[in-house]
Amino acid sequence: MPLLLALCLFPPLVAWAEPDDSVWPASEKFDSGAKAFETARRALLEQYVRADLSEDELYRAAVQGMLQGVDPAMRKHNQLLSPTQVADLLAELKGEVVGIGVRFKLDPGSSRAEVIGVVPGSSAASADVREGDLILSVDGAPLKGRTQQEVIAAIRGPAGGKVKLGLLRDTALVERTLTRAKLSVEQVSEAVLPGDVAVLALRGFSETTPAQVRAALERIAKSSARGLIIDLRNNEGGLLEKAVETAKLLLPKGATVAKLAERGGKERVMVADGAPVLTLPVAVLTSNRTGSSAELLAAALRHALKAPLIGERTRGKWSVQRIEELPNRYTMKFTVAHFKDPSGRGWEGEGLSPDIEVPQAQADAEKAERLKPSDRLAADVQLKAAASFLRMR
């Protein structure tokens, strides 16, 4: 009894590593939730080691905790987004961003980022930023310890604002001050390769993607192409409706695009309702970054056109999220449905396995994409495999 009394008067302090408790046993019910929340809120405000902890910080953590804890399987996709994050997301989904017009790839080991593309007519192009330049700093701050997304966030900002890049060009240090401006994001590109095989690369699904795809397919239809490669590598998805619209440009009328499993067990079937823009033998390139809406398109092409998937297993993100703004301009992104392939199977957490597996480093594919069409096949083994398959059809 004295021991119990002592424990009541002097709550134990713990200082060891706790196991991961992100997934609670379903059998352990959490009841009296409102009272438990209020007790936790009060204890943190009064006793937490940070004396400046505010109630707004706790409410933000509570909303984020609801989103990530309500469904452990979806914790990566259910998120609380800040006003800046949601502004960037909405701009990308509209097909436009505010930036300086550079594509780069961060090498965390060397704390530098290589410029792999410059948008013609952009601030970067006007300031003579070149492919191959290495970004060492942004506004004087080095890149060490930053992620790719953090560097992107540092470079982006309001239109008209300035950002200074510290660059290494060959052995010379160069500084460039650039002005941010609104840029149109080209999600689609096409080329006709040697052997009369066309490649159509889709990098995401924004508001403008279907129109860009239609225009590209019409140009391909006027070329000498006898086969079509749909390149979905590094396409992490985007707007579901725009992916479905894109699929309808390629599939025969009546073909199932996907099935949507919604709240309460409802299922909605999405079907192609028009003629395809062109009819050619098709092969699809995939990588471990092919996700979400891009996986939906890959599965639809494989099912309706018998198009083989060539490359690597896809990411396995087969869920649909909605974004809903909160009164304080933060935004919730939460799961409202799961989608399935035309046969009715979902691939969440598993991904689509390729019909022809061809491993390749992502960097090699990105370098090959920047080459002229006549040189790309020799540098991109996955693209070469797809072209070889189509020539044998």
Please write the tens of the pLDDT for every residue from 265-297: 999 999 999 999 999 999 999 999 999 999 999
Task: State yes or no: pLDDT of 9 exceeds 60.
Answer: no
Q: In this predicted structure, what is the pLDDT of residue 183? A: 86
Instruction: Give the integer Cα–Cα distance in Å for 97 and 120.
Output: 15
SS3 content of the chain, % helix, strand, coil (to 5): 35, 25, 40
- Please give the mean pLDDT across all residues of the chain: 90
- Per-residue b or e along 342-371, where b marks 16 or more CB atoms closer than 10 Å to that residue's CB: beeeebeeebbebbeebebeeeebbebbee
Banded model confidence at residue 3, pLDDT cuts 50, 70, 90 = very low
Instruction: Give the integer Cα–Cα distance in Å for 318 and 273.
Output: 23
Percent of the chain with pLDDT over 70: 93
For residue 136 the two structure tokens come to: 């060492």
Mean pLDDT of 64-80: 93
The answer to whether 292 and 318 are in contact (CB under 8 A) is yes
Q: In this predicted structure, what is the pLDDT of residue 4? A: 37
**Does 14 fall in a domain?**
no
Q: In this predicted structure, what is the pLDDT of residue 244? A: 97
Amino acid identity, residue 313? R
Task: State yes or no: pLDDT of 17 exceeds 80.
Answer: no
Question: Are 192 and 180 in a shared domain?
Answer: no
The answer to whether 281 and 299 are in contact (CB under 8 A) is no
**Does 329 fall in a domain?**
yes
**Does 205 fall in a domain?**
yes
DSSP, residue by residue, 11-71:
PPP--SPPPP-SS--TTS---SHHHHHHHHHHHHHHHSS-TT--HHHHHHHHHHHHHHHS-
Task: Output the CA torsion sign for 342, 220, 363, 379.
Answer: positive
For residue 117 the two structure tokens come to: 């593309």
Instruction: Give the integer Cα–Cα distance in Å for 365 and 176.
Output: 29
pLDDT tens sequence across 328-365: 999 999 999 999 999 999 999 999 999 999 999 887 88
Q: Which of 69, 84, 117 is the last residue of a domain?
A: 69
Question: Are 243 and 263 in a shared domain?
Answer: yes
Question: Are 331 and 263 in a shared domain?
Answer: yes
Least confident range from 129-138, 241-250, 352-361, 368-377: namely: 368-377
Task: Output the CA torsion sign for 284, 233, 274, 340.
Answer: positive
Question: Are 197 and 326 in a shared domain?
Answer: yes
Question: Are 218 and 140 in a shared domain?
Answer: no
Q: Which of 169, 184, 199 is the last residue of a domain?
A: 184
Instruction: Say what angle helices 209-221 and 240-248 make with each other, to 10 degrees.
Output: 20
Q: Alpha helix locations (H) across the chain?
A: 2-9, 33-47, 55-69, 83-94, 123-126, 148-155, 209-221, 240-248, 293-305, 362-369, 373-379, 381-391
pLDDT tens sequence across 374-386: 899 999 999 999 9
Q: In this predicted structure, what is the pLDDT of residue 231? A: 98
Least confident range from 20-24, 47-51, 376-380: namely: 20-24
**Does 146 fall in a domain?**
yes
Instruction: Give the integer Cα–Cα distance in Å for 156 and 137.
Output: 14
Question: Where in the sequence is the domain holding 167, given as residue range(s)?
Answer: 97-184
Q: In this predicted structure, what is the pLDDT of residue 277? A: 98
Mean pLDDT of 84-111: 85
Q: In this predicted structure, what is the pLDDT of residue 323? A: 94
Banded model confidence at residue 14, pLDDT cuts 50, 70, 90 = low
Banded model confidence at residue 20, pLDDT cuts 50, 70, 90 = low
Instruction: Give the integer Cα–Cα distance in Å for 378 and 380.
Output: 6
Rounded to the nearest 5 degrees, what angle is found at the Cα of 133, between the Cα atoms of 361 and 145? 70
Domain with residue 338: its CATH number is: 3.90.226.10
Amino acid identity, residue 305? L
The answer to whether 301 and 285 are in contact (CB under 8 A) is no
The answer to whether 228 and 250 are in contact (CB under 8 A) is no
Percent of the chain with pLDDT over 90: 74
Q: What are the phi and psi torsion angles at 53 (to 5°)?
A: -60, 130
Task: State yes or no: pLDDT of 25 exceeds 80.
Answer: no
Task: Output the CA torsion sign for 235, 239, 241, 246.
Answer: negative
**Does 19 fall in a domain?**
no
Question: Are 175 and 241 in a shared domain?
Answer: no
- Residue 317 CA neighbour count, 13 Å, CB half: 22
Question: Are 112 and 204 in a shared domain?
Answer: no
**Does 379 fall in a domain?**
yes
Q: Which of 69, 86, 119 is the last residue of a domain?
A: 69
Q: In this predicted structure, what is the pLDDT of residue 16? A: 46
Q: In this predicted structure, what is the pLDDT of residue 23? A: 59
Domain with residue 117: its CATH number is: 2.30.42.10
Question: Are 163 and 281 in a shared domain?
Answer: no
pTM of the entire predicted model: 0.83
**Does 86 fall in a domain?**
no
Question: Are 234 and 375 in a shared domain?
Answer: yes
Question: Are 213 and 354 in a shared domain?
Answer: yes
- How many domains are contained in the chain? 3
**Does 312 fall in a domain?**
yes
For residue 147 the two structure tokens come to: 């992620």
Question: Are 255 and 322 in a shared domain?
Answer: yes
Question: Are 322 and 235 in a shared domain?
Answer: yes
